[in-house]
Amino acid sequence: AYGPSLERKQAVAFLRAAVDRGVTFFDTAEAYGPFENEELVGEALGPVRDQVVLATKFGFKDGQSRLGVDSRPERIREVTEASLKRLGIDRIDLYQIHWPQRNVPMFGAAYATLARERGLSLVQLALGYVKSRWYLGAMIIAATTMAQLEEDIAAGQGELDGPTLAAIAALQ
């Protein structure tokens, strides 16, 4: 926890008030609580599910960072289903790995290879894909340097061609 907790009723009211004021992106994780925050977010945002984007994260053993990481591919389905149940939803808009394991190969390598083959950065490939799917709704920029920020902004200007979009679909 990062400070004192609100009573559950207050927390639900707070999250719903945020939606009323235009907030549409909410991020949680199995490790927050652990598990309790996903339940709270699900309770608060369930009635407005189609108005918000929900993100959550996985990757720690039993949802507890102090126990170490566990982001093995065979575990992803299990923790995804558990998060969906806690959130009380049928889809997660943005599912993130909280902390990857060094010895577990990431499927993102296939996307990096595709980007390299097309002469694009991974950011350009990702943002081009997001732009091609209007329902994804938002771009998330995570630049840590000015050069990365400039690349991210430039990536948002481009469009992907049909063969590149088909290659992305084949990876999913």
Nearest Cα to Cα of residue 129 among 114, 150, 117: 114
What number of other Cβ atoms are within 10 A of residue 34's Cβ?
Answer: 16
Q: Tokens 């990857």 map to which residue?
A: 100
Q: Tokens 């566990």 map to which residue?
A: 70
d(CA 132, CA 54): 20
- Catalytic member of 32, 111, 129, 135: 32
Nearest Cα to Cα of residue 111 among 55, 167, 67: 167
Q: Residue 45 has what DSSP assignment?
A: H
Active site residue 32: yes
Side chain identity at residue 50, one-letter code: D
- Give the active site residues: 32
